[in-house]
Homo-oligomer: A and B are copies of this chain.
Amino acid sequence: MDVVNLEAKLATFAEHFQPRTVGEFNGHDLMVAKLQGPFRWHAHDDTDDFFLVLKGRLTIELRDRTVSLGPGELFVVPRGVEHRPVAEEEVHLLLIERTGTPNTGDPATAAPRRVI
């Protein structure tokens, strides 16, 4: 593996809600993603969901509360917990999930795995 510059990786694509895998770690994908607007409500039964905001402000709606993350702030959505990320303005993220996790919680609607 090489050193990964997160900003440089994020500069290589523009699509929202299409995470790119930039490395692997203990059976997990290390991904960068750009988000804008509301995503869908979903849960991952087999993995916690790691969010670290690099740019912008991300709201994560949970069924019982809402959290808000700015740059340099991280949050872990526990496995099985329904959540909906919402980005009022474009957000850049480091995202970590088990390799093979569908980003929508459903393989039928998930973004394809793309390694960059």
Contact = CB atoms under 8 A, between A and B. Distances in A.
25 contacts: A1-B75, A1-B78, A2-B67, A3-B68, A3-B69, A3-B73, A3-B74, A3-B75, A4-B73, A4-B74, A5-B73, A6-B72, A6-B74, A23-B74, A23-B76, A24-B48, A24-B76, A25-B96, A26-B79, A26-B98, A30-B50, A30-B74, A52-B94, A54-B72, A96-B96
Given A24-B48, A26-B47, A74-B94, 17 more contacts: A1-B75, A2-B75, A3-B67, A3-B68, A3-B74, A3-B75, A4-B73, A4-B74, A5-B73, A6-B72, A6-B74, A25-B76, A26-B28, A26-B48, A26-B98, A30-B74, A30-B76
A7 interface: yes
Interface of A: 1-7, 22-26, 28, 30, 47-48, 50, 52, 54, 67-69, 72-76, 78-79, 94, 96, 98
